[in-house]
Amino acid sequence: MSYETITFEKEDNVCILTLNRPERLNAMNNKMFEEIKDALDRVKDDAEIRACIITGAGRAFSSGGDFSFDQSQAGKEIDLSQKELVLKLIKLNKPLIAAVNGLALGAGMNLALNCDLVYASDKAEFGTFFIKRAITPEMSSTFLLPYIVGIHKAKELIFFGDRFSAHEAKNIGLINDVFPDDIFMSKVKELAKRLAKGPTLAIGLAKEAIHNLLMDQIVKALDNEAESLIKAFKSEDFAESLLSFMEKREPKFKGV
């Protein structure tokens, strides 16, 4: 099966899913959400695949959500797709590695955080970024970020939305490790192939046991985030963020 927004490759017993909209810095639209979900189903059902890598084409992992949509439909379109994607990521019965090759902002960073292991190139940058567009975090990040880095650091990352380096991401415990860019993918593939040679059933059961403890909080976070996003999408500040983006100027937020 061919896709429009991602590529699907098999290398030995490892699947490599590549977000493939490099001209848009791999910004995620509904089409991409649907294609990633379909690809994850293929990974789950293919007994030959025993580990999976998600990475990005070009200089970005993903710059986040694609804002070229009708604002009036934004909440309706994005909510269900993202919730379904998060649940597929965490319920996948095989180890899933995020290979963050470059920029990972907003939903792009959250996609990585919902994977089992996160490795980054030393050229990668991270950022929650939502506040820059006058919207609220999603993809269960309101639970994951405080759980991973602590509540005060999570609030700092969300409230300011600034970018930070891969090394800073490792220092705060957000990712597993950082590798030099020139050997990055070879190192990640080496780790994925090591996992693929392991006891896949046991790894999947361990993953399930870990996530079963967190599932109620994750689902509650997704539902709360959906409500907050719909409110934010209707705000004057969000409209101003889109207008300022198109006009290539700093936004003038009013707080409403």
Q: Are 108 and 60 in contact (CB under 8 A)?
A: yes
CA 43, CA 14: separation in Å to the nearest integer?
A: 9
CA 144, CA 73: separation in Å to the nearest integer?
A: 27
pLDDT at 74: 54
54-68, 112-126, 134-148, range with the lowest pLDDT? 54-68
Q: Are 125 and 169 in contact (CB under 8 A)?
A: no
* pLDDT tens profile 162-215: 999 999 999 999 999 999 999 999 999 999 999 999 999 999 999 999 999 999
CA 124, CA 103: separation in Å to the nearest integer?
A: 5
pLDDT at 81: 83
pLDDT, mean over the chain: 95
Answer whether residue 70 shows pLDDT above 80.
no
CA triplet 122, 134, 61: central angle to 5 degrees?
A: 25
Answer whether residue 76 shows pLDDT above 60.
no
Percentage, residues of the chain above pLDDT 70: 95
- Positive or negative: CA dihedral 45, 51, 57, 59: positive
Its CATH class, for the domain covering 6-183, is alpha beta
| Residue 20 token pair | 């493939």
| Contacts for 213 with CB less than 8 Å, ≥ 6 apart | none
Question: pLDDT-derived band of residue 134, with 50, 70 and 90 as boundaries?
Answer: very high
* pLDDT tens profile 97-126: 999 999 999 999 999 999 999 999 999 999
Q: Which helix (H) or strand (E) holds 57?
A: none
| Residue 109 token pair | 């960073």
Closest CA to 135 of 69, 226, 63: 226
Answer whether residue 69 shows pLDDT above 60.
no
pLDDT at 1: 77
Q: Name the residue ranges covered by the structural domains of the chain.
A: 6-183
| Residue 160 token pair | 């300011």
Cα 189 from chain centre:
19
pLDDT at 205: 98
Q: Count of alpha carbons within 13 Å of 197, Cβ hemisphere only?
A: 5
